[in-house]
Structure 1
Amino acid sequence: MKSTVVSVARKLKLYQLVVFDQVLRSGSLVGAAQALNLTQPAVTKIIHEMEAFLGAALLVRGNRGVRATELGGVVVRRAHAMLTELRSLTDEVNAYHSGTTGQVMVGSLTSSSALLLPHTLRLLKESAPGVLVTVRVGHMDQLFSSLLAGELDIVVGRIPDDWRWHEYEPRLKVDVLCEEGLCIVAGAEHPLHASGRPVSLAELHPFPWILPPRSGLLRRTVDRLFEELDLGPPANVIESIAALTNYELMQDQQTVGFFPLQTTQQLAHGGKLKAFDLGKPLSFGRIGCFYSANRNLDPASRLFRECLTLANRPNAQN
């Protein structure tokens, strides 16, 4: 018999979706039972009830635990959005009764984590110590997908240059926070630092390079810099956005790479990293705060966004 909204609402309970989501997050029925303070038979019964109603298996058991079937993937994908709204309802009820509480799931690029994000978190904790913040660092496409799925509340990162025509633009809103500079950097004892004059990209080209991965937004910016000077890509390349790993690689006093200005300022304090004088500033692009166009931010997420704006004001991070 074909399912209807009424039949699904009667038979499929929110608590069942919570249990099913936890089983997939834990990777096992035992893990889900422990996380939810239930017995394994109780978790198994709930999954069987869901499968009986939906008319097909939701889980496949393997050597590494359980994973979703094709139908299970459909169910959990839709469940994420519903459970996000349930979490928002819970947060708003708690906020009404006891002040600002809740949880904020934040996605960020490494560059956004350098100074802006830590200062934002300090401001948030000063005003609302009860708010739990979880930060996930990744590529923008991964973070945007998680934001649309309801797994993240806010993403802080670089706004794509083609944002007006970007595939995510209709479904996401963005607040522009600031313009970020871009630096070419190396270890403080790199031989070209000693020239005492501006250094050209052509002079740096033969050295070993650390470049952003080709799938990232920053790589497109970097590639354009080489193309404008009719330079091919460097021959000796490592692809990485891991700031601390890149910092250590540059201590060979040969390797060259790109860092956003804030990251450069933070890492240069120790005296082991230095930006090259290129004779003109480079632009990393605009940094923005992204959130869903179809889902209202809960109180904790709204407070985080307010703190983000405060942290970005001139002299706020001094």
Structure 2
Amino acid sequence: MSDIIANRLLPKHFNLVRAIVDLGQLSLAANALALTQPAASRMLSEIEHIVGSPLFSRTPKGMEPTAVGRALALRAQNLLMEIREAAREVEAIKRGLSGTVRIGAVTGGAVGYVVPAIDVLKAEAETADIHVDVAPSGPLIADLMAGHLDFVLGRIPAGIDARQFNIQASLSEEVDLLVHQRHPLANAEHLTFADLVHFPWAMQAPGAPVRQAVEEAFLEQGAPIPVNIVNTTSLLVMIGMLASSNAIAPMSREVSDLLCRQTTGAGLCQLDIRAPISVAPYHLISMAGKRMSPVALRLRDLLLTEFENRKRLGN
């Protein structure tokens, strides 16, 4: 008997049962499924005939599911979800979004742009195989040129011929100075760079764009560049130093906003400095003449859309 029921019940039957349970009225369920009420009534009778049992009882408050009706409605929720996922997966394969994409990004670009774009892509094609490398621009461009990456969010290093690349979008990068909440300057207002000189620092090595921007900010304000510096590209090392000492660490605004949210539990905060720190823009960079897979093109387009949205909003 169970095989007969399984072979005769269709997705549209489960859709109707679920809609009646959710909405409590046959007329509302019919309207939600773009059916006439007589057609919905006939379909319900058909289901009850297949199952051999009433699915609902009519009460002054509406239609209440029987035990059999509740069981079918529960199964319907899972079944319909699986059908939708299967349809999405088929569509992703047809659009070529089931392959592999490898991208690289500087830290701020990864947090601010790559992660949201991946969320959208995964909603469209959850089987897409996505690889993200987060590193300074130099290694990323080297990997791009070697064919290891489809595209990068970064900057073209000095000495590299920019004519071999497709360069799209331009996004400026703002820098915040982070400390632990127990730092002596955590609650100070309108700090100058002279106030920061004598504290330990954790930041990228000399020549890195963020490091250069910080050093230029000290020089512009006539303050000496700090000498107590630990050089690292590791975000975890920076966070560890902030947690264990009175160190200051410069980080891109996207990373800073993420780490300073109360929900992260990192216990970090942004210093209130008078002069903003800006870094040279980074770009979406790919090799000229190289064809990308549909899934790589889709992720690239999502990033460009996000760029344009932020630019339009002035962020």
* Residue 177 of structure 1, CA deviation: 4.7
Contact 1:106 1:154 in 2 (8 A): yes
- Paired residue for 1:77? none
Unpaired stretches in structure 1, ≥5 consecutive residues: 1-94
| Distance of 1:203 and 1:134 partners within structure 2 | 41
After the TM superposition, which residues 88-167 of structure 1 pair with which residues of structure 2 at under 5 Å, given as runs?
99-157=96-154, 159=155, 167=160
Distance 1:217 1:293, change over 3 A: same
Contact 1:183 1:282 in 2 (8 A): yes
Contact 2:98 2:128 in 1 (8 A): yes
| Distance of 1:217 and 1:181 partners within structure 2 | 11
Contact 2:177 2:250 in 1 (8 A): yes
- Paired residue for 1:237? 229
* Residue 96 of structure 1, CA deviation: 8.3
Contact 1:107 1:136 in 2 (8 A): yes
Contact 2:167 2:284 in 1 (8 A): yes
| Distance of 2:301 and 2:169 partners within structure 1 | 13
- The correspondence for 2:250, drawn from 258, 277, 286, is 258
- Paired residue for 2:285? 290
Secondary structure at the aligned position of 1:274 is classed as strand
- Paired residue for 2:181? 188
Unpaired stretches in structure 2, ≥5 consecutive residues: 1-91
One-letter identity of the residue aligned with 2:251? F
One-letter identity of the residue aligned with 2:282? I
| Distance of 1:138 and 1:168 partners within structure 2 | 20
| Distance of 2:241 and 2:95 partners within structure 1 | 49
One-letter identity of the residue aligned with 1:133? I
Contact 1:131 1:300 in 2 (8 A): yes
| Distance of 1:147 and 1:243 partners within structure 2 | 23
Distance 1:252 1:294, change over 3 A: same
Bigger-Rg structure (1/2): 2
- Paired residue for 2:10? none
Q: Runs of 4+ in structure 1 displaced over 4 angstroms?
A: 95-98
| Distance of 2:257 and 2:95 partners within structure 1 | 40
Contact 2:103 2:132 in 1 (8 A): yes
* Residue 269 of structure 1, CA deviation: 0.7
Secondary structure at the aligned position of 1:115 is classed as helix
- Paired residue for 1:22? none
- The correspondence for 1:208, drawn from 175, 200, 213, is 200
After the TM superposition, which residues 26-41 of structure 1 pair with which residues of structure 2 at under 5 Å, given as runs?
none
- Paired residue for 1:92? none
| Distance of 2:120 and 2:195 partners within structure 1 | 43
Please give the TM-score of this superposition, normalised by the length of structure 2.
Answer: 0.62
- Paired residue for 2:190? 198
Distance 1:229 1:96, change over 3 A: same
| Distance of 2:140 and 2:105 partners within structure 1 | 8
Distance 1:229 1:103, change over 3 A: same
- The correspondence for 1:226, drawn from 218, 223, 242, is 218
The two structures, once aligned, show a CA RMSD in angstroms of: 2.6
| Distance of 1:243 and 1:96 partners within structure 2 | 36
* Residue 166 of structure 1, CA deviation: 5.3
* Residue 125 of structure 1, CA deviation: 1.0
Contact 1:240 1:246 in 2 (8 A): yes
* Residue 119 of structure 1, CA deviation: 0.8
- The correspondence for 1:299, drawn from 287, 294, 299, is 294
One-letter identity of the residue aligned with 1:174? I
One-letter identity of the residue aligned with 1:167? I
Residue identity (%): 21
- Paired residue for 1:64? none
- Paired residue for 1:25? none
- Kindly tell me the number of residue pairs found equivalent between the two proteins: 218
Tell me if 1:173 matches 2:166. Answer: yes
Residue by residue over 1:84-129, the C-alpha shift from the partner in whole angstroms, topping out at 9 and shown as x without a partner, is xxxxxxxxxxx88674222111112222222321111111111222
Distance 1:97 1:207, change over 3 A: closer
Distance 1:178 1:98, change over 3 A: closer
